[in-house]
């Protein structure tokens, strides 16, 4: 089998196509969850905690020169290393929400799947049937 035909056989298998569709939908779904976290959840959490903006929670790891504003973007543009733990908190919440949504989706899909009907019992091989008939014939007086 040539390399090209082997690759074609691999690429058109159902699992590969399903995986590709899943990755594309997952990427789009990830953007939706990012928006939900950054635009809806984090502002509410910040408001409840006293108007905290998680995107600007950081620690500068080097002295900040005069004239550079103390914002995360300004420090990064100035080349000052920062420990941006607020961004990490946002991403951790994003992950938790995404994991929960996927868990609920998989749980619902599994619930909706119908149980596969039991497979019919396999036919007894002919030699076993003959041996049973011989056994039964020998038991008779």
> Domain 3-52+84-139 classified CATH 1.10.10?
no
Which of 48, 53, 121, 57 is closest to 85 using CA atoms? 57
pTM of the model: 0.53
Distance, CA of 88 to CA of 85 (rounded, Å): 5
Q: Are 113 and 61 in contact (CB under 8 A)?
A: no
**Residue 25: its pLDDT value, please?**
84
Encoded tokens for 117:
């009907």
Contacts of 58 (CB under 8 A, 6+ apart): 72, 75, 82, 83, 84, 85, 86, 87
Q: How confident is the model over 18-48, as pLDDT tens digits?
A: 777 788 888 888 888 778 877 888 788 778 8
What is the chain's alpha carbon radius of gyration, rounded to the nearest angstrom? 31
Q: Share the mean pLDDT of the chain.
A: 81
């Amino acid at each position: 089998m040539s390399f090209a035909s082997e690759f074609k056989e691999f690429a058109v298998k159902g699992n590969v196509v399903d995986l590709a569709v899943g990755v594309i939908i997952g990427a789009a779904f990830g953007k939706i969850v990012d928006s939900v976290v950054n635009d809806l959840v984090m502002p509410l959490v910040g408001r409840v905690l006293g108007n905290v903006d998680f995107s600007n929670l950081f620690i500068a790891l080097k002295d900040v020169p005069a004239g550079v504003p103390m914002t995360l973007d300004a420090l990064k543009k100035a080349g000052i290393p920062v420990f941006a733990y607020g961004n990490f908190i946002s991403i951790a919440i994003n992950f938790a929400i995404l994991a929960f949504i996927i868990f609920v989706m998989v749980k619902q899909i599994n619930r909706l799947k119908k149980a596969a009907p039991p497979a019919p019992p396999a036919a007894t091989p002919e030699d076993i049937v003959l041996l049973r008939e011989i056994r039964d014939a020998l038991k008779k007086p």
